Structure 1
Amino acid sequence: MMRHSTMDTPAGPFTAVVSGDGAVRAAGFTADVAALMLLVHPDLAGETRPATDLGAVSAAVRRYLDGDLAALDDVAVEQRTGGAFMAHAWQVMREIKPGAPVTYALFAELAGRPAAVRAAAAACARNPVALFVPCHRVLRTDGTLGGYRWGLDVKTWLLEHERH
């Protein structure tokens, strides 16, 4: 059975949902577990129960918030999608370093499909495990923020946090 936990952060409440083996299946800056579960692929969805702490996942988030910007790099995530490009793009997104955001165009290029800028943007928009797969590190081609499911104020906070 999956477990979920919400913690307070400077950017607002952050909830993670983990599988029985501890892989993150959903995460975002919300306390609404039902909304998070809507982002999870049906093959990975199911019942989740509250937990006060998610062990290594919660510890990694705390370390990240305390300034260890690499703390989330090795946290296992479990995502599914209907397409090979999106799965690959999510993997590539994890390689974008803190403090070094990229544009959607560069992200598409890094993902191996330079002409697929819209598909790259869709990978960001459909990412169910925010923070662990850092879609906040992808910006519009002109350098402006673009969108972010959890709000531009949260995206701004994350990018500022990673600049220092």
Structure 2
Amino acid sequence: MPALATVPTPLGPFTALVDDEGAVLASGWTDDAGALLALVHAELRPTDPARREDLGEVTAAVTAFHDGDPGPAAAVPVRQISGPATTAIWERLRAVPAGEPTTYGELADAAGYPKGHRIAARACVHNAATLFVPCHRVLRRGGALGGYRWGLERKERLLALEASWRVDDAALSGV
């Protein structure tokens, strides 16, 4: 049965909506279930998801991310529908390491669309599964933030948080 749960985080409430197999359909820093439902493609949109306290691995991944471990979020299944270019961008975006932001052009090139920076930007705009498909890791050429559904201040905080993990990792490894 489709379900959703909200987790308190240092960046605000984070809600995830999953299908009956546990794949993330939509997620974001909000407690507004209706807003998340609106992001889901009509073919996948559930009509009455159950509200739960916990979504198992999804909730654990959200908590782990905010505690400094982005790995579990990258392993959570995601289900979104779009055309082949957008789907390729979303798949490539899941492989962008935390703390190593990329540009729209670099992302498009890595996904097989060397002149597709606008395709990459559009894929980020239509990404319903933020955090699990980490579109906050994409910047404009030159390093400007670009846009972010959950606000530029939150995007900036996410990038700073992930950069701090890389610094912590380097310190632990003696680099």
Q: Which residue of 2 aligns with 1:61?
A: 62
Question: What SS does the corresponding residue of 2:133 show, helix, strand or coil?
Answer: coil
Find the structure with the greater CA-based Rg: 2
Shift of 1:63: 1.0
Question: What SS does the corresponding residue of 1:38 show, helix, strand or coil?
Answer: helix
Q: How does 1:4-153 map to 2 (within 5 A)?
A: 4-46=4-46, 47-81=48-82, 83-153=83-153
1:11 is aligned with what amino acid?
L
Shift of 1:147: 0.4
Distance 1:24 1:57 in 2: 8
User: Once the two structures are superposed, what CA deviation does each residue of 1:32-79 show, in whole Å capped at 9, x if it has no partner?
Assistant: 111111111111101211001111110111111111121211111111
Question: What SS does the corresponding residue of 2:71 show, helix, strand or coil?
Answer: coil
Question: What SS does the corresponding residue of 1:6 show, helix, strand or coil?
Answer: strand
Contact 2:15-2:30 within 8 A present in 1 as well: yes
Of all paired residues, the percent bearing the same amino acid is 47
Distance 1:101 1:8 in 2: 25
User: Once the two structures are superposed, what CA deviation does each residue of 1:5-48 show, in whole Å capped at 9, x if it has no partner?
Assistant: 11111111110001111111110111111111111111110121
Contact 2:61-2:70 within 8 A present in 1 as well: no
- More helix by proportion, 1 or 2? 2
Count of matched residue pairs: 163
Shift of 1:121: 0.2
Distance 1:8 1:152 in 2: 20
User: Once the two structures are superposed, what CA deviation does each residue of 1:107-147 show, in whole Å capped at 9, x if it has no partner?
Assistant: 11111111111111000010000000000000010101110
Distance 1:49 1:73 in 2: 24
2:11 is aligned with what amino acid?
A
**Unaligned stretches of 5+ residues in structure 1:** none
Contact 2:65-2:72 within 8 A present in 1 as well: yes
Relative to the length of structure 1, the TM-score reads 0.96
1:143 is aligned with what amino acid?
G
Distance 1:153 1:8 in 2: 18
Contact 2:28-2:130 within 8 A present in 1 as well: yes
1:71 is aligned with what amino acid?
P
User: Once the two structures are superposed, what CA deviation does each residue of 1:72-96 show, in whole Å capped at 9, x if it has no partner?
Assistant: 1111111111x11111110000010
Determine which structure has greater relative contact order: mean sequence separation of CA pairs < 8 Å that are 6+ residues apart, divided by chain length: 1
